[in-house]
Structure 1
């Protein structure tokens, strides 16, 4: 049996997930603020 993601109706459902928090504000764009929030949370390299 595989330990990878399990297919369900052609979609893959994660077996595990984690929750973290971070926040940022950017005058340039919401996407830039999102990237800054990932850096604040310490998980930017996983995006």
Structure 2
């Protein structure tokens, strides 16, 4: 691997980290919502 590609990868990685910190909150919130929806669907199926 050449130096230029490692530099580019490092830039991408650092940029991704910034975005990850922002999106992590939303990601976990969405995960919770999906989990709740799946539980309600499963409950409806079992109720029948």
TM over 0.5: no
RCO (CA 8 Å, sep 6+): is it higher in 1 or 2? 1
Task: Give the structure with the higher percent helix.
Answer: 2
Task: Give the structure with the higher percent strand.
Answer: 1
| TM-score of the aligned structures, taking structure 2 as reference length | 0.29
**Larger CA Rg, structure 1 vs 2:** 2
